[in-house]
Amino acid sequence: MRISRIELLSPAVLGAAALTTLPAATAVSAAADRPCAASTRWEGDRKCYTATAQGVALVDLHIQTMRGRDHARAEGMVEEGGAVWMEVKKNGGPAKRVYLKRVPKGGPENPYAESRQKSTGWQYDGPGYLVRGCAANAGDRLKACTGWH
């Protein structure tokens, strides 16, 4: 039996809160990233890492070789009002947020009813670059980033 990531996010975890801005500062994860579960790996993944917060898997960082170079893409499962993004460092410089994908809020009757899967675009991850995937639920109540890869 395959458990989808939506089933892992319980209603107790997905309470209501308004989305505030997501700062580019480091996000705190309750656990260090670890290899992705076999069920969440994509075909072609050379590496895959998961970051969790409070035991909930929020974001996977998929690394694949394309045209002879590594590229990375983040995939997250966040509630309405949340977001998934990547952070990139080039040649040891400051982190820059790229590919921010927000999950819009629903209607006023039940704005936090569902979780949604969002993926960023592909980011070059070759020599001189470090990337990580990040995700946060509405109001930053659950926030996680993978390690730098």
Q: What is the pLDDT of residues 86-132, one digit of tens each?
A: 999 999 999 999 999 988 876 555 555 566 789 999 999 999 999 99
Does any domain span residue 48? Answer: yes
The whole-angstrom separation of Cα 40 and Cα 30 is 20
pLDDT at 111: 52
Tokens 């050379």, residue located: 46
Does any domain span residue 27? Answer: no
pLDDT at 119: 92
Does any domain span residue 70? Answer: yes
The whole-angstrom separation of Cα 70 and Cα 32 is 22
- Ranking 21-25, 79-83, 92-96, 144-148 by mean pLDDT, the lowest is 21-25
Does any domain span residue 28? Answer: no
The whole-angstrom separation of Cα 123 and Cα 30 is 25
Domain that holds residue 123: 42-145
CATH number at residue 123: 2.60.40
Does any domain span residue 8? Answer: no
Does any domain span residue 54? Answer: yes
Does any domain span residue 23? Answer: no
Does any domain span residue 24? Answer: no
What is the tens place of the pLDDT at every residue in 37-67?
Answer: 999 999 999 999 999 888 777 899 999 999 9
| Overall number of domains in the chain | 1
